[in-house]
Structure 1
Amino acid sequence: MVKVDRPPANNFVATARKIYNPIGFAKGYNFILWMISAGALLGFSLARLMYLDFDNIFCPADQNKANALPGECFYYQDTRGRVGILLHLGAILPACLLAFLQFVPAIRHKVILFHRINGYLVIIGSFTGMAGVLMIAEHSFGGGLSIQIALGLALIIFLSCICIAYHNIKRLQIEQHRAWMIRAWVVGGFIITMRIIGITTDKVLVALSPEQYFVSYSCSEISFMLNGNQSVLQSLHPSCTGANPNHHVLVNAFSANGTGNVDQAAAGLDISFSAAAWLAVAIHVFAAELYLHLTPAESARLRRVSYQRQLEAGM
């Protein structure tokens, strides 16, 4: 438990200290920043552990019960898509849970061996999970070029930060290791903000009903969304006769005159997430630097520790 010499300003602070002092925080604002960033990552990961039951929860046979975005499971039927999404979920979700433990001060200070071993597991899980992303990015969130580049940029930033952090800890530059790991996981958490922005954008545009947004889907993909109901498919898109499953049709994403069915919902979400991804990446790059700017005392403390460790190691 962290010992604080300053008496609490009031009863609220005294009560709060009983919560954050035992897990290693000396200052309340550090705990709040940690809860916002690491807590969100933990909650998001725990909520998605059920997706590891892939065939029953994430992509069941009945697409009306699927938890993936409408139409995404269509691309997880082949070997590459299925392996990619399972590799991603199976690696990155445990990595996120373990990463949460890496940012608990009490663990870092008192259980150093666990922190080191756990760190290697987090790195392995991160790289493995990102390999899965590369396999499915072509069709994730609609698979448009814009979303692919946004995902690629976030992936490069995430893995680059982890590599730099690993190099820093090998050089006993502990404060830099902390900074780059914070950058990695704050940027990696953009996927949470992207969903919030994407879903909000979709709801706003559905309410506004603009006419100019369209997405192209193959007849076979729309048929998959409709659980293979050919009569409904033809009523929505008469050119989807079944003669050419690869025939593509345009789906109006938000118009009140659209199909009003799952294909229109898919189109709206695909467009919204494509824009949301870029905004979320930008927000999280800024948030990482803001976090570091707001915690200079910890950086200064670790800089002193780094200097002492380097002297002891003869560096």
Structure 2
Amino acid sequence: MASIVKHYFLKASQVVGYSKLYNFSLWFIFAGALLGFALARLQYLHAGTYAKGAVPGEWYYAHAGRDRVGIFLHLGTILPCAILVVFQFVPRIRQRCVIFHRTNGYIVIFLLLASNAGALMIMDHAFGGGMDVQTWVVTLVVACTLSVGMAWWNIRRLQIEQHRAWMLRTMFYMGCIITTRLILVILAVAVTRSSSPRYGVWPCGKIRFTYQQQHVSDDVDALLKQRYPDCAFTTAANLSSTFTPISASLFAEDPARNGVAFNLSFGAAAWVAFFLHLVGVEVYLRLTPREAERLRMVSYERQFAAGYKNPGSAGLVVERWGDAKAWGGQGRLPLEDSPFAR
């Protein structure tokens, strides 16, 4: 059985264009996860579906105004971006469909930058809008913007191995939201089962809106009086300015308590996921030095053909900024080893 699976895996890797099975395996796992996640989330571009599927309380701010514009700008750009970026890492497309690869790359950059704008618009309310969440959003936006900018600059300078490295970083930074979701559930369960109760604070208007949106009870006022007395007699004008503590519980029948469990856990989950992806992509880059060196020779040949003064080191390479030794591979590859002979 294992040999059959390996056989078809090898066939698939050859179709896609990978010459090494481990590279195809990593692409299949990580790009596949990103593609599957994005395809599954396309349904949330419909406002009604998003309202039903979002974490309890999120629709309170997102149903109107700036947050509505921000969330659908973010989803409407980052989901297509996540789908299209997968094709940027298919060797067969890069080799045989250069125009598509180049055009698709510019589309990915535009969509990513637009999605960053949407994320910044909603960060003060998303998952409770705590400082941990806001700083994570800003950090992720800056990291993705800088890395995709570095990727763009290096490909403009024909520094292909650096372009590959920075595009991989961009893709891994983007993908940390998937790992965040997995860790979020674990932490929300941990918060729920904590020996000491954990509390969040919501405005009464948010609780009432969430109850009504999720049809928790036919008599919302009676339920509020029972569960949150501070909100029971609050006038309509003061609903958004009157706050009440809510104990976190993922398994309670109260959607407000479910939402608080996710709100308290999201910031920690997001930072842990970002750290794992930040380290993970650097480990992968360090474990594939031969591929980086091969692509640097491709860079050398293309820069040499383009008349660059310092072929092989025209982009943002480390020796231009640090104390690394000058690159020593500035010699033509034998014809049979040249990437252009393939």
The alignment's TM-score, normalised by the length of structure 1, stands at 0.90
Residue in structure 1 matched with residue 293 of structure 2 by the alignment = 300
User: Which has the higher Rg, Structure 1 or Structure 2?
Assistant: 2
Aligned match for 2:209, one of 224, 227, 231: 224
Q: Any idea what SS the aligned residue of 2:16 has?
A: coil
- Tell whether the 8 Å contact from 1:33 to 1:291 is kept in structure 2 after alignment: no
Residue in structure 2 matched with residue 179 of structure 1 by the alignment = 165
1:268 aligns with 2:261: yes
Amino acid at match of 1:34: W
- Count of residues in Structure 1 that have an aligned counterpart in Structure 2: 297
The ranges of structure 1 where at least 4 consecutive aligned residues each deviate by more than 6 angstroms after the TM superposition are none
- Tell whether the 8 Å contact from 2:189 to 2:250 is kept in structure 1 after alignment: no
Q: CA RMSD, aligned part only? A: 1.8
Counterpart-to-counterpart distance in 2, 1:12 and 1:221:
51
- In structure 2, list runs of 5 or more residues that go unmatched: 214-219, 309-342
- Sort the Cα spacing of 1:251 and 1:94 in 2 relative to 1 into closer, same or farther, 3 A: same
- Tell whether the 8 Å contact from 2:188 to 2:250 is kept in structure 1 after alignment: no
User: 1:168-199 CA distances to partner (integer Å, 9 max, x unpaired)?
Assistant: 01111000000000001101111111110011
Counterpart-to-counterpart distance in 2, 1:15 and 1:37:
19
Amino acid at match of 1:247: T
User: 1:33-69 CA distances to partner (integer Å, 9 max, x unpaired)?
Assistant: 1122211110110000011112x2001xxxxxx1111
1:58 aligns with 2:43: no
Q: CA deviation at 1:204?
A: 3.0
Q: Any idea what SS the aligned residue of 1:189 has?
A: helix
Aligned match for 2:137, one of 151, 166, 177: 151
Counterpart-to-counterpart distance in 2, 1:263 and 1:81:
20
Residue in structure 2 matched with residue 4 of structure 1 by the alignment = none
Counterpart-to-counterpart distance in 2, 1:24 and 1:219:
56
1:210 aligns with 2:211: no
- Sort the Cα spacing of 1:269 and 1:255 in 2 relative to 1 into closer, same or farther, 3 A: closer
Aligned pairs for 1:1-315 within 5 A: 12-54=5-47, 56-59=48-51, 66-206=52-192, 208-227=193-212, 229-240=220-231, 241-243=233-235, 244-245=238-239, 246-254=241-249, 260-315=253-308
User: 1:233-277 CA distances to partner (integer Å, 9 max, x unpaired)?
Assistant: 221101112322120001111499xx7511111111111111111
- Sort the Cα spacing of 1:190 and 1:12 in 2 relative to 1 into closer, same or farther, 3 A: closer
Counterpart-to-counterpart distance in 2, 1:25 and 1:182:
16
- Sort the Cα spacing of 1:213 and 1:11 in 2 relative to 1 into closer, same or farther, 3 A: closer
- Tell whether the 8 Å contact from 1:70 to 1:266 is kept in structure 2 after alignment: yes
User: 1:15-45 CA distances to partner (integer Å, 9 max, x unpaired)?
Assistant: 3211111101111111111122211110110
- In structure 1, list runs of 5 or more residues that go unmatched: 1-9, 60-65
Counterpart-to-counterpart distance in 1, 2:4 and 2:262:
47
Q: Any idea what SS the aligned residue of 2:244 has?
A: strand
Counterpart-to-counterpart distance in 1, 2:249 and 2:75:
31
Q: CA deviation at 1:12?
A: 5.0
Counterpart-to-counterpart distance in 1, 2:280 and 2:250:
35
- Tell whether the 8 Å contact from 2:191 to 2:198 is kept in structure 1 after alignment: no
User: 1:136-165 CA distances to partner (integer Å, 9 max, x unpaired)?
Assistant: 011112111111101211111111100011
Percent sequence identity is 41
Counterpart-to-counterpart distance in 1, 2:250 and 2:55:
20
Q: CA deviation at 1:115?
A: 0.2
Counterpart-to-counterpart distance in 2, 1:227 and 1:281:
35
Q: CA deviation at 1:203?
A: 1.7
Amino acid at match of 1:248: F
Counterpart-to-counterpart distance in 2, 1:11 and 1:143:
50
Counterpart-to-counterpart distance in 1, 2:224 and 2:199:
18
Counterpart-to-counterpart distance in 1, 2:225 and 2:25:
54
The alignment's TM-score, normalised by the length of structure 2, stands at 0.83
